[in-house]
Amino acid sequence: MKEDKDLLKELLHTKFKDDVIESSRNNFDNIFDAVQKKSDDKSLFYWYTAGVIVLMLISVFTLYYLKNNKTSNTHTEETSTEIPIQKENINLVTTPIDTISSKKEENNTITGNEISEDINQSENSVTKKIDVTTLEPEDEIIEKGVITVTYTASDKYASTEHTMYNKLPDSSTIVVRKNSKVNFTATTQGYRRADITGTVFLNIIKEESKPFILFGKHCKIQITGNSFAIHSDSKADLMTLIQGSAKVVHNTTKEVRNLIPGESLRVDQNGIVLLEKSPNRFAWKTGDLHYKNTSVDQIINDLGENYDAKILLKNADILNCKYSGSFEKTNTTKVLTKLASALKLRITKKDDLFTITGQGCNK
Amino acid sequence: MNKEEQDKLVKACKKNSRDAMEKIYNAFMPRMIAVSIRYCKNQSDAEDIVQEAFIKVFKNIKKYKHSGTLGSWIERIVVNCAIDHWHKRKKTVLMDNSELIMETETQELDEIEKNQFSKQLSSEKLRTLINELPEQYRLVLNLYAIEGYSHKEISKILKIKESTSRSNYTRARKKLLENMRAIGIEKY
């Protein structure tokens, strides 16, 4: 069988070994054209590929350039440095100071009212390309591709002892207080935008071409190279300009007001009101507390909010007592000492806990 | 065309010489049609396959390593094209079982008969007989007996089992022998 197979194979192999059939047509032209076309296709493919790569490179460089140009001073790094503020001590020599304006000041020990902030930008320079008074809500839409950073401070992480000093992408410094939030955006329109909820202190890096605009609930504030305190909630926006200049525009009434250092405003749905004193909720920053027939309950609350004061009352009736008076560059110990002498109370301190004893007041 | 001439032409082809390509085409085309026609039903299909094969030949001429003869290299490409062509249009694959083949049924071919066939059967007639075989038998017979592929290689090329290739060949061979004998050539 095997032999048979080989024989047929041999026969077929021999028969067809040199078998030829003449073609009825000459296809060479077609073949040559096809071969040339294929090589043309190949070279075209290389050209296309090279072209696409070049275009991609150009667009990448353009995007990079545009991005750099728009946010020349923005850094994508978000640094959150946690610097514990000094605790008040029994010697009454330390107080929270303008820590936000410069970290150098953080370790200062002051003995009185000797803090003098460098007011080096007293000029009201509001001649910007973007004017907050003309900024319509339509322009506020945050577009894609811009740097947006959000800082949210919970109750836990924004106590005075654990103050978060956050550096915005433009190198401005912010302190976000308890239960507050900042949403920072380097907008495509060329200004820096910070949406504020709660209490925030800012030290803005001045940049002529990129105005810094705070968005409160009731107003917009264009601020320049300064130290600024703002509290924004649904009821009202409260603010104190510590140094520099600021221009406030009411969202609905379009009322405009320029602030000078030391001035405070309250902006609610009815309009802008100039405040005589800085709001007590900014005391952590300003060191100022102002009371007029205020309950001890409120005062203790302020001390807790601003200085994380731990206060123990032996008699709940003390909360009903009223106090009037102002404090400047103050701290918990100073306030409580004055309070004690005015209301005939006794203050003792163990570690960081103040204990108040004495007779209270009737409602 | 001797080996030296071929090598020269191949070199020129690599430089995209139209003349060299045409010379190679004219030299090998009749042979390639003869190869290709065994895999399809008519000369027109065979010529299409050859055209496609020559496009591949010239496109891939740089891959030709001069290890075998140019003719056998082109022939392989033609066979591959023909098989591709078959794969594209095939609808069914014959699933043969070698165990069902009764070997004794095949009348053996001996030297004398082989010589007779060799003398009396023209290649054209033989080609016709092969073409009458069922398609897959024909392919296996072509690849195994004429092209010289092993059953293992055929199983890969045709995407069938090796055992199927063997049984297809056995049946193709039996059928072909019957057909060869049927056209009136006596055994002795």
The domain that holds B139 is classified in CATH as 1.10.10.10
Q: Which of B89, B121, B136 is the last residue of a domain?
A: B89
Specify whether B85 is located in the same domain as B107. Answer: no
pLDDT at A148: 67
More confident residue, B110 or A53: A53
Q: Are residues B118 and B169 in the same domain?
A: yes
Q: DSSP letter string over A19-46?
A: -----SS--HHHHHHHHHHHHHHHHHHH
pLDDT exceeds cutoff 50 at A98: no
The answer as to whether B188 is a domain residue is: no
- Residue where one domain finishes, among candidates B36, B60, B89: B89
User: Does any domain span residue B187?
Assistant: no
Residues B27 and B62 in one domain: yes
The residue among A273, A254, A268 whose CA lies nearest residue A135 is A254
User: Is the pLDDT reported for residue B97 higher than 90?
Assistant: no
Q: Is B105 on the interface with A (CB under 8 A)?
A: no
* pLDDT at residue B4 in the model: 83
Residue-averaged pLDDT of chain A: 72
Asked whether residue A137 carries a pLDDT value surpassing 70, the answer given is no
Boundary (domain end) residue, out of B41, B66, B89: B89
The helix (run of H) or strand (run of E) holding residue A199 is strand A192-203
Tell me if B39 is assigned to some domain: yes
Inside any domain, residue B178: yes
Residue B39 and residue B64 share a domain: yes
Q: Give contacts of A14 with chain B, Cβ < 8 Å.
A: 118
Interface residue of A12, A30, A40 to substitute, partner B, most B CBs within 10 Å: A12
Is B103 in the same domain as B55? no
- DSSP per residue over A160-194, as a string? GGG-EEEE-TTS-EEEE-TTEEEEEEE-TTS-EEE
Is B113 within a domain?
A: yes
Task: Name the more confident of B133 and A78.
Answer: B133
Range with the lowest mean pLDDT among A34-38, A228-232, A250-254? A34-38
**Domain CATH number, residue B23:** 1.10.1740.10
**A259 or A132, higher pLDDT:** A259
Same domain, B177 and B121: yes
Q: Which residues of B touch A29 (CB under 8 A)?
A: none
Residues B42, B63: one domain? yes
- For residue A19, the chain B residues in CB contact (below 8 A) are 31, 34-35, 123, 127
User: What is the rounded distance in angstroms from the CA atom of residue A329 to the CA atom of residue A94?
Assistant: 10
Residues B83 and B112 in one domain: no
Mean pLDDT over residues A268-286, rounded?
Answer: 82
Judgement on whether residues B74 and B134 belong to the same structural domain of the protein = no
Q: Structure pTM?
A: 0.42
Give Rg (Cα) of chain B: 19
Domain hosting residue B75, numbered range: 3-89
Is B9 inside a domain boundary? yes
Domain membership of residue B128 (yes or no) is: yes
Residues B11 and B81 in one domain: yes
Predicted-assembly ipTM surpassing the 0.90 threshold:
no
Number of domains in chain B: 2
How many other CB atoms are there within 10 angstroms of residue A111's CB atom? 9
| Among candidates A7, A18, A39 on the partner chain, residue whose Cβ is nearest the Cβ of B111 | A7
Residue B133 pLDDT: 87
Report the range of poorest mean pLDDT among A25-39, A87-101, A230-244, B148-162.
Answer: A87-101
Same domain, yes or no, for B61 and B102?
Answer: no
The verdict on B176 and B151 lying in the same domain is: yes
